Structure 1
Amino acid sequence: MKPTFAILAAIATLTAAPALAAGVPANITAALAAPSRPAADTARDAARKPGDLLAFTGVKTGDKVVDLIMGGGYFTRILSGAVGPTGHVYAYQPAEFVGFSADYGKALKDVAAAYPNVTPLGAAFSALDLPDGLDLVFTVQNYHDMHLKPFAADTAAKVNAEIFKSLKKGGVYLVVDHAALPGTGIAPADTLHRIDIAAVKSEVEAAGFKLEAQSPMLAAPADPHTANVFDPSIRGKTDQFILKFRKPK
């Protein structure tokens, strides 16, 4: 059954005061409390801190956003509620990912079918064409994937350029990823599924963005940064950086 925005609005009214007091706006609090969210998603909230993370982006009701490389749709579902019926979410799942695993295609189809303000995008990286006038492009734990060996060496540069073109002036590009050791650049992307924060800053700024802020909310100092993020010893406990870029006005 599709979630109703009336339910989300009611939740927002009930939770507005504590949400503002905690620093997480009511639109995001309501989205997190939506009964349509799968139990498997809510079980991950303590580790992923979606309320604080989305508050950091500044996403508002009515915004037009892209969940770039949406994976299983964890953040797509939250963003749908956060922007509300007057906003829109474009869920992008690269065709290359769908070709690798049918589960990615199913996730894209299922989320788009369940949420009336979500539009699926499934082009290959090389053919990515985002809608214009975006307020936010949001990508979590997937920036490094654009540097995997199967993809062209200029994939990240082309995607960053497309994002810059499609965002409004003043729009936000939020990048979260698993941290690699300083000085390692993009090399760990293919072997460890990590990337050096300095490499991301350099690439995104080269597209025209300005780094506005970064947050330590997902930092994990105990992470040695040398294990593959899927290794049981570190999975779910990696050191992650959060970078907030803005397109100049």
Structure 2
Amino acid sequence: MKHAAIAAALALSGALVVTVLPLAAEDAAITTETANAIAAAVADTMRPAEDTARDEARKPGKIIAFAGVRPGMVVIEYSPGGGYYTRLLAKTVGPTGHVYALVPAGFAGRQDYMDRMNALAAQYGNVDIIPTDFGNYKLPKMADLAWTSENYHDFVNGGTAEPADKAAFAALKPGGLYFIEDHAAPGTGLTATNSLHRIDPAAVKSQVIAAGFVFDGESDALHNPDDPHDASPRQFSGVSDKFALRFKKPE
């Protein structure tokens, strides 16, 4: 019955083809309320067309469900980019939740970018855009989930991955979740982060576990076996192979 409720709720979005992931931890955490909130986020008419055009490749409904996002959560989002997931997270957590979108401190000087992101925050009403050092920040509330998508390899390049992991651990409540999605380069360790803008998921696991987290699950929703992993995602003609990892701060 629970699987049927999840599938029916997520299918409310015509842009989303639903296959419930066979992950016991995820299934146990999802309620019909959460599934409805995710479906409403994907179907949100405030999302720009350039975002919804990417949904087929990014599978936001599946990814948000796997990450453990639910209504009422306080979420930290590292490097929100243009706000693709910021909008989805804001809508999913709803008016009783909050999203702290952390952007690199250098972005504060890019007025056009900050204006766009602050307009997004005003549109949703439960988002704060915070230029900050990822390894040294203080939020008004302890968070339920920390999130980063397609950025972790850049954190490694900039020397902020380990500080961000430690800061996320400190900012999360006991039992809080840390979600990382990125372009995959299996077996390369940290050697492809700059040259190919990809990273080995095993290297991410090692770094995040070293910060105190426990590995809590992996989704293959974004896995593409046809990606040879030998070019940057922008140079690859198809959709890049991506991994999605979930970690947990011990209770």
Q: Encode CA deviations 1:160-187: one digit per residue, 9 max, x unaligned.
A: 01100111111110100001131x2112
Is residue 2:169 matched to residue 1:179?
no
Matches of 1:19 and 1:111 in 2, distance apart? 26
Match of 2:233 in 1: 229
Q: CA deviation at 1:124?
A: 3.0
Match of 2:247 in 1: 245
Opposite residue 118 of structure 1, the aligned amino acid is V
Match of 2:206 in 1: 202
Gaps spanning 5+ residues in structure 2: where? 12-17, 21-33
Q: Secondary structure at the match of 2:176?
A: strand
Report % sequence identity: 47
Is residue 2:68 matched to residue 1:55?
no
Match of 1:42 in 2: 52
Matches of 2:221 and 2:6 in 1, distance apart? 23
C-alpha RMSD of the superposition: 2.2
Match of 1:4 in 2: none
Q: Encode CA deviations 1:173-208: one digit per residue, 9 max, x unaligned.
A: 0100001131x2112111111011111000000000
Which residues of 2 match residues 66-81 of structure 1 at below 5 A? 66-81=76-91
Tell me if the contact between 1:175 and 1:243 (Cα under 8 Å) persists in the aligned partners. yes
C-alpha distance 161-201 of structure 1, shift in aligned 2 (>3 A):
same
Match of 1:125 in 2: 134
How does the TM-score come out when normalised to structure 2?
0.83
Tell me if the contact between 1:130 and 1:162 (Cα under 8 Å) persists in the aligned partners. no
Match of 1:29 in 2: 39
Q: Encode CA deviations 1:9-53: one digit per residue, 9 max, x unaligned.
A: xxxxxx988216855700110111111111111111111000011
Q: Secondary structure at the match of 1:125?
A: coil
Matches of 2:9 and 2:54 in 1, distance apart? 19
Matches of 1:129 and 1:113 in 2, distance apart? 21
Which of 174, 181, 194 is the equivalent residue of 1:169? 174
C-alpha distance 20-223 of structure 1, shift in aligned 2 (>3 A):
closer
Count residues with an aligned counterpart. 227
Q: Secondary structure at the match of 2:194?
A: helix
Is residue 2:23 matched to residue 1:18?
no
Matches of 2:246 and 2:74 in 1, distance apart? 17
Q: CA deviation at 1:103?
A: 5.5
Matches of 1:98 and 1:224 in 2, distance apart? 37
Opposite residue 177 of structure 1, the aligned amino acid is D
Q: Secondary structure at the match of 1:176?
A: strand
How does the TM-score come out when normalised to structure 1?
0.84
Q: CA deviation at 1:98?
A: 5.5
C-alpha distance 31-108 of structure 1, shift in aligned 2 (>3 A):
same
Matches of 1:50 and 1:20 in 2, distance apart? 11
Tell me if the contact between 2:213 and 2:250 (Cα under 8 Å) persists in the aligned partners. yes
Matches of 1:54 and 1:122 in 2, distance apart? 24
Is residue 2:93 matched to residue 1:89?
no
